[in-house]
């Protein structure tokens, strides 16, 4: 079953009027509605037999697995009429009901599309989806990254249930209650992790640093987070803005952050926009945010299932007038890719990080007559230079794997010469700005103080090392402009001034 997640949210959210109720079979109205919407509008142009067989196979499989009920159907069942007759027949089976069969049939049709972004929402699921776009959600209080097939905690939200537990950044979530998350999609993992406010779950964690598994029981709570947060770097007047999602307040909060930078009286030399692990949101938010960077310009092209191309433009915006670097990674999807691709094509920004997710499709949320909703893929989008994003992703201008090294590379490309790097409360601090990273900057053992080799490589413009950490002492001896300070709290700070 497919579910949406905060990291992989879609670009477009349009609302349309609900279709009239089909009067002939009221118990399977939504199955019929979804069938017609998909047949008439889905980007892939599915055929009737594909949807019907997908629905019947999926429902039959789940009935066997969950209810131990055998449901028979024919490979010649190929019309919506055949599907409805089978559902009516199966409804009379012990343990089955119309609500369950409706959902199974709909999810089976959507499963046949091989499109993880076309999703059926119940009333409650739709509310959760809309809340997640607005960065309001019920959860445990951590953000995840899908890294090499593993679900890694990349950040823990202060004053959340996760913050009060023994969870740590870098922990891998391998199970929820009795469900393994191995080989699950982000959407599936999100579906197992979410739940009602106050409900509990038992999380199975693997902590690589200790090479052990542990179990943590957490209670879900309502959490509301800012969509955009910013800070000025020390040493050079360069702004940093982290955008978590493209919700309805995203553009306003971005505008306010830029205005706050202007009020300092120090003209910015550059801006870093962090879109790492930002799964997207509303098209209108992406367009409005783009208008903070350009006066006027093409945002994207979209094509529908018939190949009709439509242009979306930014109008009456403001030129940012300074160089921009956008941090991206495999969790940057949908609206993040749309904005990043557009600003790069207009030569406003360069991308730093790793290849983006590759979700270049746009969805519409369609209310159904019984209160549920269908999120359906209608369009594919392309950057202003017609770059394909869907299933491909955007390749950065500066390809950098390590989280902290991405920040260093972005700042270097903006002309930063003076550096102050350290660890603080599990974060890596670069010129006064803290970044949640999976791995600490420093570690100390019997060999001595070591530093993340990727960070040092980019800082000193060295050849890449195969080692994850390297001893710092030889580099301190070799580079006169490199020094180390030990703070009162026992942490270390690396200082460097480039010639």
Q: What is the pLDDT of residues 109-126, one digit of tens each?
A: 999 999 999 999 999 888
What's residue 22's pLDDT? 38
For residue 299, pLDDT beyond 90: yes
Catalytic residue among 345, 372, 423, 427: 345
> Given pLDDT bands bounded at 50, 70 and 90, which one contains residue 191?
confident
Q: Which residue has the higher pLDDT, 492 or 1?
A: 492
Domain region containing 270 = 228-399
Q: How far apart are the first and last CA of the chain?
A: 56
Task: Please tell me which of 100-104, 146-150, 189-193 the model is most confident about, judged by mean pLDDT.
Answer: 100-104
Structural domain count, the chain: 4
For the chain, count helices (H), then strands (E): 12, 27
Residue 137 confidence (pLDDT) above 80: no
Token pair 């497919």: residue = 2
CATH number, domain with residue 354: 3.90.226.10
Answer whether residue 216 is part of any domain: yes
- Residue 265 is given by DSSP the state T
What are the strands of the beta sheet with 270-274, ordered from one edge?
A: 228-232, 238-243, 270-274, 324-328, 349-353, 398-399
Report d(CA 29, CA 25) in Å as an integer: 6
CB-based burial label for 392 (10 Å; 0-12, 13-18, 19+)? middle
Whether 88 is covered by a domain: the verdict is yes
Q: Quick one: which of 475, 408, 403 has its CA closest to 439?
A: 403
Residues 294, 381, single domain; the answer is yes
**Does residue 280 fall inside a structural domain?**
yes
**pLDDT band with cut points at 50, 70 and 90 for residue 26:** low
**Residue 244, SS3 per DSSP:** coil
Same domain, 439 and 473: yes
Sheet (strand 448-452) strand order: 442-445, 448-452, 469-471
Choose the final residue of a domain: 196, 224, 252: 224
Domain end marker among 224, 251, 279: 224
> What is the arithmetic mean of pLDDT over 69-87?
96
**Whether residue 232 sits in one domain with residue 210:** no
179-180/398-399 β-pairing: unpaired
For the four alpha carbons of 205, 207, 211 and 212, in that order, the dihedral sign comes to: negative
CATH number at residue 193: 2.30.42.10
Residues 382 and 482 in one domain: no
Q: Is the pLDDT of residue 267 over 90?
A: yes
The mean-pLDDT minimum among 51-55, 182-186, 316-320, 418-422 falls in: 182-186
For residues 360 and 435, state if they share a domain.
Answer: no
pLDDT of residue 4: 34
Lowest mean pLDDT among 14-23, 64-73, 375-384: 14-23
- Tens digits of per-residue pLDDT, 199-240? 999 999 999 878 899 999 999 998 877 899 999 999 899 999
17 assigned to some structural domain: no
User: 24: number of CA atoms within 13 Å, CB side?
Assistant: 8
Q: Do 167 and 308 have their domain in common? A: no
Q: Catalytic: 359?
A: yes
**Could you report the per-residue pLDDT of 321-354, keeping only the tens digit for each?**
999 999 999 999 999 999 999 999 999 999 999 9
Q: Is 135 within a domain?
A: no
User: pLDDT value at position 198?
Assistant: 94
Task: Please indicate, yes or no, whether residues 117 and 155 belong to a single structural domain of this protein.
Answer: no
Residue 21, pLDDT above cutoff 60: no
What would the two tokens of residue 113 be? Answer: 């599309």
pLDDT tens per residue across span 386-421: 999 999 999 999 999 999 999 999 999 999 999 999
18 domain residue, yes or no: no
| DSSP of 198-240 | T-EEEEEEEETTTTEEEEEEEE-EEEE--SEEEEEPSSS-EEE
Whether the CA torsion 464, 472, 352, 130 is positive or negative: it is positive
Last residue of a domain, one of 199, 224, 249: 224
Q: Which residue out of 165, 359, 375, 423 is catalytically annotated?
A: 359
Let me know if 187 is exposed, middle or buried by CB neighbors in 10 A (0-12, 13-18, 19+). middle
Residues 389, 271 share a domain: yes
Are 370 and 249 part of one and the same domain? Answer: yes
216 and 240 within one domain:
no
Active site residue 41: no
The answer to whether residues 471 and 375 belong to one domain is no
Specify if 261 maps to a domain.
Answer: yes
Name the active-site residue from 118, 165, 332, 334. Answer: 334
Our answer to whether residue 345 is catalytic in this structure is yes
* pLDDT tens digits, one per residue of 352-378: 999 999 999 999 999 999 999 999 999
pLDDT confidence of residue 180: 93
Share of the chain above pLDDT 90, in %: 74
Model confidence at 3: pLDDT above 50: no
CA-nearest of 446, 357, 294 to 147 is 357
Task: Kindly state whether residues 312 and 379 are assigned to the same domain.
Answer: yes
Q: Tell me the CA distances in angstroms from 176 to 125, 139, 191, 194, one per residue in order.
A: 19, 13, 10, 10
Do 66 and 103 touch, CB atoms closer than 8 A?
A: no
Q: pLDDT confidence of 438, banded at 50, 70, 90?
A: confident
Residue 134 lies in a domain: no
Residue-averaged pLDDT of the chain = 90
Q: In the numeric block, which tokens belong to residue 71? A: 């449901």
- Looking at residue 162, its pLDDT comes to 94
């Amino acid at each position: 079953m497919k579910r949406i997640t905060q990291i992989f949210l879609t670009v477009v959210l349009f609302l349309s009027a609900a279709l009239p109720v089909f009067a002939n079979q009221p118990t399977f109205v939504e199955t019929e509605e979804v069938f017609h919407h998909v047949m008439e509008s889905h980007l892939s142009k599915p055929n009737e037999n594909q949807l019907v067989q997908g629905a019947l196979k999926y429902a039959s499989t789940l009935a066997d697995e969950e209810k131990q009920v055998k449901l028979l159907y024919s490979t010649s069942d190929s019309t919506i009429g055949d599907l409805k007759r089978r559902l009516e027949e199966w409804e009379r089976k012990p343990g089955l009901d119309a609500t369950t069969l409706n959902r199974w049939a709909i999810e089976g049709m959507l499963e046949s599309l091989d499109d993880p972004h076309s999703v059926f929402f119940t009333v409650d699921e739709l509310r959760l989806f809309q809340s997640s776009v607005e960065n309001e959600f019920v959860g445990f209080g951590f953000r995840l990254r899908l890294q090499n097939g593993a679900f890694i905690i990349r950040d823990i939200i202060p004053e959340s249930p996760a913050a009060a537990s023994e969870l740590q950044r870098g922990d891998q979530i391998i199970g929820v209650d009795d469900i393994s998350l191995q080989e699950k999609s982000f959407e599936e993992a999100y579906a197992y992790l979410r739940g009602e406010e106050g409900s509990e779950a038992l999380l199975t964690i693997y902590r690589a640093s200790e090479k052990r598994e542990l179990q943590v029981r957490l209670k879900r709570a309502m959490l509301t987070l800012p969509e955009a947060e910013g800070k000025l770097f020390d040493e050079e007047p360069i702004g940093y803005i982290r955008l978590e999602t493209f919700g309805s307040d995203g553009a306003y909060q971005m505008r306010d952050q830029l205005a706050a930078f202007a009020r300092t009286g120090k003209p910015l030399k550059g801006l870093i926009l962090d879109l790492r692990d930002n799964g997207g949101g509303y098209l209108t938010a992406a367009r409005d945010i783009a208008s903070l960077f350009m006066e006027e310009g093409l945002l994207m092209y979209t094509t529908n299932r018939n190949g009709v191309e439509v242009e979306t433009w930014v109008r009456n915006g403001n030129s940012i007038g300074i160089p921009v670097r956008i941090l991206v990674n495999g969790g940057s999807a949908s609206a993040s890719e749309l904005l990043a691709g557009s600003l790069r094509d207009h030569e406003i920004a360069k991308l730093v990080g790793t290849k983006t997710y590759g979700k270049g499709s746009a969805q519409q949320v369609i209310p159904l007559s019984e209160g549920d909703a269908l999120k359906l893929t209608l369009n594919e989008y392309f950057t202003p230079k017609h770059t394909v994003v869907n299933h491909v992703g955007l390749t950065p201008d500066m390809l950098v794997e390590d989280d902290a090294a991405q920040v260093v590379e972005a700042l270097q490309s903006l002309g930063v010469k003076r550096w102050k790097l350290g660890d603080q409360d599990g974060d890596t601090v670069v010129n006064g700005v803290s970044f949640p990273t999976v791995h600490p900057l420093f570690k100390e053992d019997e060999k001595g103080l070591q530093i993340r080799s990727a960070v040092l490589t980019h800082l000193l413009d060295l050849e890449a090392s195969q080692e994850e950490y390297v001893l710092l002492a030889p580099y301190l001896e070799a580079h006169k402009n490199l020094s180390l300070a030990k703070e009162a709290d026992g942490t270390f700070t690396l200082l460097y001034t480039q010639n």
